[in-house]
Every structure is written in structure tokens, then in C-alpha cells.
Amino acid sequence: MYGGDGVAVTRVGTQVVVRLSGVVDDARAPRLAAALGEVADVALHRVLVDLSEADAVSGAGLDFLLDVAGRWDVRLVDPPPGLRRHLAARNGGDVAV
């Protein structure tokens, strides 16, 4: 699958796993866009986003998570503190992840 620069996409059975690490922000926008394309190519229903090695998520990282959540059933694993609140604020108070 796709991997590198703190963004990796793999498929485990019928589930797609996106692993994000380090600081996931506007500097990662090109990698996140490529990862979104990779997820679209292989995702069936559920996408698991592993944030256990992410230090912070902002800007393009938040946009990526909202885009994924808008397309598939998403489960966040070990998000950084406050991430769900930031996602809800960015999405008009509603976020399903």
C-alpha cells in the first residue's frame, strides 16, 4: 500500500487502516491527499485511523479526518487530547468519529 512521511495506508481484511504519526498539519497536505486517493481505491466500508503515534493534528490533518469521516464509517484509535473537540468545532459542532 502507500506509506511514508508519517502517513501509511494498509488493508487488513475488509478494513482499511490509516496510520498517522508525528505532526499532521498543512505540511503533510500532499501526502494526505495521496492517502485519501489510496483509501478511496481500497475502502469498502470502515476506515480505522490509528493516531497512536500522532503528536498533533491541525489544518490539513483535520480536513483529512473530516473528509474520511464524510465518506466512510471511521474509527479513531488513540487520538491526541482534544482532537474530537477540534473536529466537532471544524464541522459545525457535529462529528461522527
Q: What is the CATH number of domain 2-90?
A: 3.30.750.24
Sheet bearing 15-24, strands edge to edge: 2-4, 7-12, 15-24, 46-57, 73-77
Mean pLDDT, residues 60-82:
91
Mean pLDDT, residues 1-27:
86
pLDDT tens per residue, range 16-37 = 999 999 999 999 999 999 999 9
Distance, in Å, from the CA atom of 3 to the CA atom of 6, rounded to the nearest integer, reads 8
Torsion, CA 3, CA 23, CA 37, CA 91, rounded to 10: 150
Q: Report the share of the chain in percent with pLDDT over 70.
A: 90
* Predicted local distance difference test score (pLDDT) of residue 45: 86
Entry pTM? 0.86
